[in-house]
Amino acid sequence: MTKFATESAVTPELLAKYEPVIGLEVHAQLLTRTKIFCGCSTRFGDAPNSNVCPVCLGLPGTLPVLNKRAVEMGIRAALALNCTVRERSRFARKNYFYPDLPKGYQISQYELPLATGGWLEIEHGGEIKRIGITRLHLEEDAGKSLHDGFPHSDEKTYVDYNRCGTPLSEIVSEPDMRSPDEAYAYLTTLRQILLYTGVSDCNMEEGSLRCDANVSVRLRGAKEFGTKVEVKNLNSFRYLAKALQFEIERHIGILESGGRLVQETRLWNQPEGRTVSMRSKEKAHDYRYFPEPDLLPVHVSSAWREEMRVSLPELPGAKRARFVSVFAITPYDAEVLSDTQALASYFESVVKAGVPGKAAANWMQTELLRRLNDSGKEIAASPVSPEALADLIKLVEAGKITAAVGKKVFVTMFETGRSAADIVAAEGLGASVSEDAIEQAAREIIAKNPDNVAKFKAGSEGVFKFFVGQVMKATRGQANPQAVNDILRKLLS
Ligand SMILES: [Zn+2]
């Protein structure tokens, strides 16, 4: 059913009988230097409790001041997700007690969120599907309980308040997803949009992107939703897909054995590969939301909203479509090359330096990305610049070196940072076989292969590649491939 399923406790027939319904709530940390209501740094990894002040510690008599940059980031994300940014939104207090929440309440948005009614498009199994976004609101993060690694960790829990007041946007989807794969595609697409717009670094290890899922199942064709369960803290893409698959099968198992589902919150237990109950609906918090009296309502003027809109970069979907139409590359190539903005702009630079789109796409995907991957480097740290790669590809395209030699030259370029022309000249790699020598080799091969000549003459174009390959082999890969092609065509026609 899904590419993540390892083994299923439920038969394929039963899985087919039910339809999963999935919605996601994603928390993304906004990329601001300082916290949402005070001037403390949001830097990750600093010594515990070093980035705190009376405001984010919730000391009496302090007042929050809204960070304009956090609102801007929220507006950018909302616009990129096709949401309507509300002219007026308001912060509210969400009241609950927990050791990592020194104020005793979290400042969030409740009945008047920053933005509502958006969507994004996912691609799954070659189909484009639109997933609705219910709302996007701003809120502050809580601190972090530390359960181990300290002198008295066996008897005490420590608390780090550095994360208190870090700005978050919560993005709530409609229950529009119908499989773990679609949920995975949604989270991947959302992450890419947040990265493109510079709204969040989406670093899952550092907790900058967190995901909760609502999941239920219903008989295929049924209109009513089944009883939903919330699965919390899915802090990796893989866990998300595995937890959803587990829950779907658990729900089907219960329904098939005549049982009833209870609405509850569950946690994914990765080592055990299962979800466990955290609290039932009866024990759900009543947060007693009320408007935050210490903050003014948020007012987003149309001028401010439009200023944000024009500052948005080209988004991944638009970029992919443009790459396909302008550079004549395949949708698959366009998807790979628009994975990150850095990769996309590298590709555009190679093309701009005079290389056809398809050749640039091929060289980047086969040679460059593989080398980068092997050496654990990001595209930004590539030892071969787009212009240097373009120079190499142009040598190959012009037939001055063969593709095989070009690949070897690329390895040296990657290792030494030298230019293609330098390496070709210094190592005498230029296509050095004379046309006479190519013609002689070609004549010998044609003479030795009358069967294939007959096939070619009978219209089998495929066999032409055989002749090219044989001539290249006879000239030890040193011949100009274009010349080999031309000479063979002449001799075989
Ligand atoms: Zn502070």
Q: Compute, in angstroms, the gap from residue 89 CA to the centroid of ligand 1.
A: 23
DSSP for residue 476: T
Q: What length does the chain have?
A: 493
Q: Compute, in angstroms, the gap from residue 186 CA to the centroid of ligand 1.
A: 34
pLDDT for 235: 84
- Secondary structure percentages of the chain, helix, strand, coil, to 5: 40, 20, 40
Q: How far apart are CA 111 and CA 2, in angstroms?
A: 37
Q: Compute, in angstroms, the gap from residue 35 CA to the centroid of ligand 1.
A: 7
Q: Compute, in angstroms, the gap from residue 43 CA to the centroid of ligand 1.
A: 12
DSSP for residue 272: T
Q: How far apart are CA 140 and CA 135, in angstroms?
A: 16
Q: Compute, in angstroms, the gap from residue 40 CA to the centroid of ligand 1.
A: 4
Dig out the tokens for 300 from the structure. 């987003």
Dig out the tokens for 245 from the structure. 């698959």
Q: Compute, in angstroms, the gap from residue 42 CA to the centroid of ligand 1.
A: 9
Q: Compute, in angstroms, the gap from residue 477 CA to the centroid of ligand 1.
A: 66
pLDDT for 460: 86
Q: Compute, in angstroms, the gap from residue 200 CA to the centroid of ligand 1.
A: 20
pLDDT for 1: 42
Q: Compute, in angstroms, the gap from residue 51 CA to the centroid of ligand 1.
A: 7
Q: Compute, in angstroms, the gap from residue 103 CA to the centroid of ligand 1.
A: 12
Q: Compute, in angstroms, the gap from residue 105 CA to the centroid of ligand 1.
A: 15
Question: Are 479 and 400 in contact, with CB atoms under 8 Å apart?
Answer: no
Q: Compute, in angstroms, the gap from residue 144 CA to the centroid of ligand 1.
A: 15
Number of other CB atoms surrounding residue 318 within 10 Å: 11
Q: Compute, in angstroms, the gap from residue 36 CA to the centroid of ligand 1.
A: 9
pLDDT for 475: 81
CA 5 to chain centre: 21
- How many helices (H) does the chain have, and how many strands (E)? 17, 16
Q: How far apart are CA 67 and CA 168, in angstroms?
A: 12
Alpha helices by DSSP H, listed for 30-130, are: 68-80
- What is the chain's pLDDT, residue by residue, as a tens digit (493 residues)? 444 444 566 888 889 999 999 999 999 999 999 999 999 999 999 999 999 999 999 999 999 999 999 999 999 999 999 999 999 999 999 999 999 999 999 999 999 999 999 999 998 888 999 999 999 999 999 999 999 889 999 999 999 999 999 999 999 999 999 999 999 999 999 999 999 999 999 999 899 999 999 999 999 999 999 999 999 988 888 899 999 999 999 999 999 999 999 999 999 998 999 999 988 866 667 899 999 999 999 999 999 999 999 999 999 999 999 999 999 999 999 999 999 999 999 999 999 999 999 999 999 999 999 999 999 999 999 999 999 999 999 999 887 888 888 999 999 999 999 999 999 888 877 766 777 788 888 999 999 999 999 999 888 888 999 999 998 888 877 777 778 888 898 888 8
Q: Compute, in angstroms, the gap from residue 55 CA to the centroid of ligand 1.
A: 5
pLDDT for 398: 85
Residue 386 makes CB contacts below 8 A (sequence gap 6+) with: 346, 347, 349, 350, 352, 353
Global pTM value = 0.84
Instruction: Give phi and psi for 215, each to the nearest 5.
Output: -140, 140
